[in-house]
Amino acid sequence: METSEMQAIMQLMAENGISKLKYQQKDETLELTRESTTPEVQPVANTSVQPAQANTAASTAQTINAKFVGTFYTSGNPDDDPFVKVGDTVKAGQTVAVIEAMKMMNNVVAPQDGRITKVLAANEDLVEFDQPLFEFESL
């Protein structure tokens, strides 16, 4: 991996309050750790997400979460319509968004059949690992 790529990853880590990252691909492993100057940033972000999840606990809503740290895109191309919007029915395995991580596009797919009830991330948002991106209800 080039120095410029590692610097870009470290910049993303700093911007998103991430202090540790481990990435494995075949026989290569990249492990980055940085000291956080504001350890309160991560808990604050989680606190803002928890009430939304608590409000939907009584319903059948579930979340589709990010599998990567990266840039969230609602469509495959800037001029295209979003893959899904609130109220759309999705099938298991259907692409609902894309996350760009390390210059690679990774599909975000529906884990099961359902209906999208909320979109929790905006197009081009930087998202963290396991961050809820969509709420959906099972069909």
pLDDT of the chain, 139 residues: tens digit per residue: 666 676 777 777 777 777 777 777 777 777 777 664 444 444 443 433 444 444 444 456 799 999 989 999 999 998 999 999 999 999 999 999 999 988 899 999 999 999 999 999 999 999 999 999 999 999 8
The answer to whether the CB of 110 falls within 8 A of the CB of 83 is no
Which one, of 139, 138, 135, 97, lies nearest residue 116 by Cα?
135
Query: In terms of residue numbers, what domain contains 83?
Result: 3-138
Strands (E), 51-90: 61-65, 70-73, 89-90
Helices marked H in 1-139: 3-15, 41-55
Give the SS3 label for residue 52.
Answer: helix
The answer to whether the CB of 72 falls within 8 A of the CB of 126 is yes
Tell the residue number behind the tokens 């494995």, with chain if given. 24
Q: How many domains does the chain have?
A: 1
Question: What CATH number is given to the structural domain containing 9?
Answer: 2.40.50.100
Amino acid present at 38: T
The answer to whether the CB of 133 falls within 8 A of the CB of 72 is yes
